A = this chain, B = another copy of it.
C-alpha cells in the first residue's frame, strides 16, 4: 500500500458524520446503531481505522459502497484497519458509509467503537448532502433486534441487532434523508419491559449518549448534554412496547429498595393509575422533545409488536396537544409483526421492517410534503 496516505478523522472536512457525537472528535466515537461516517472519494482503495473495546457485548459494524450493503462483521477489542474497497476505478467517485450495527450499550461499560482515521490513495469529494433529516427514538425494534438470525434463535446477543436491516435506515433510504437513531432494547418511555423504571428513554435523551456508562464513555462525552445540532425535520418516536410488556411482568425492585410494578385489573385492562404513569411519561417526553426541537414534526409510531397501548399513547398525545397548543405532533400505527414476518428473538424480522418502512415513508412523504 505504498501510495496510501493516512488522515485523522477529525481532519477530514468533507465528511458526513451520522449519529450523535459529543465533545470528542478524535478518535470519533460511534455511540448508536446507525452512527457512522460517510465519505465520497476517488482512488482505488480506502481503509478505515477503528479502535474498539468491549466485554460481553462486542460491537458489529457494517459498510456500504454507493448505497449497497457490502460487508458486516464483529470487532473484538483492539485496533483494526479495515479495507472498505480495493481496486476500484481511481477516477470514479465512490461513496462509502461505515457504521455501527450494535445499539448503544448500557450493559457493558467497555463497549466502544472509535473511528480514528482513514487511509486512501485518492481525494475527498463532497459527500451527499441530504436536505431531509429524521431522528428515530426507540427500543429494541429501532435497535434492529432480530433482524439477523433465525426465528428459532432466541438468545439475546449483539449479532442479531443491526442498522443495516432496520425500518429506520430503510425509511431514510427511501426518502433520501439523513437519519439519527437513539434506541435501547428493553427500554420504554416510563419503564423497561421488566418494570425497571430506570430504563426509560427520556432519562437519556438529553445526553449525547446517556446509555453508555462508565468512565471511559464519560471521557468521550457520552454523559454530556447533547447540543441538539441535528435539527431533524421529523422525529419518529417508537416507544411503549416495553411499557406494555411491564404490565405482564413481575415486580422489579430498584437499587433504592423501591419495588415497581405496572398492574392490570382483573378483567385484563390496565390499572388506570399505572397506565397514567405511562401517559405522564409520554407527555413529559413530548415536552422535552419539543423543547429541544422546536420546528420538528413529531410522530409517535407504534404497533410493530402489538397494538395494546394505542389508546393510551393517543390519550397522552392529545392531552399534551391540548395543554401545549402544539399541533405539530401525530400518531401512526405501524403494522404488527406476524408469523410470516417474524425475525429472531421474537422480534420483527426483515419483512416486518420493510412493511413498517413503507407505511412510515408514505406517511412522511405526505405529511412533510416530500416528493
Residues of A within 8 A of B (CB): 56, 58, 60, 65-74, 76, 82-83, 85-89, 92, 148-150, 152-153, 155, 157-159, 267, 269, 303, 306-307, 310-311, 314-315, 317-318, 321, 327, 330-333, 335-336, 338, 344, 358-359, 362-363, 366-367
Nearest-CB distance from A309 to chain B (Å)? 11
With A310-B331, A314-B314 in contact, is A336–B366 under 8 Å at CB?
yes
With A and B bound together, what is the CA distance between A159 and B71 in angstroms?
A: 9
Collect the chain B residues with CB atoms within 8 Å of residue A72's CB: 70-73
Q: Is the CB of A159 within 8 A of B70?
A: yes
Q: Is the CB of A362 within 8 A of B338?
A: yes
Collect the chain B residues with CB atoms within 8 Å of residue A317's CB: 311
Nearest-CB distance from A345 to chain B (Å)? 12
Other-chain residue from B68, B315, B344, B363 in contact with A153 (beta carbon distance below 8 A): B68
With A and B bound together, what is the CA distance between A152 and B60 in angstroms?
A: 28
In the complex, the chain B residue whose C-beta lies closest to that of A92 is B155
Collect the chain B residues with CB atoms within 8 Å of residue A82's CB: 74
In the complex, the chain B residue whose C-beta lies closest to that of A151 is B68
Nearest-CB distance from A88 to chain B (Å)? 5
Nearest-CB distance from A360 to chain B (Å)? 10
Other-chain residue from B88, B269, B303, B330 in contact with A310 (beta carbon distance below 8 A): B330
**Can you give 18 A-B contacts (C-beta < 8 A)?**
A56-B86, A65-B149, A70-B149, A71-B71, A72-B72, A72-B73, A74-B86, A76-B83, A86-B158, A88-B155, A89-B155, A307-B332, A310-B332, A311-B317, A311-B318, A314-B315, A315-B315, A335-B362
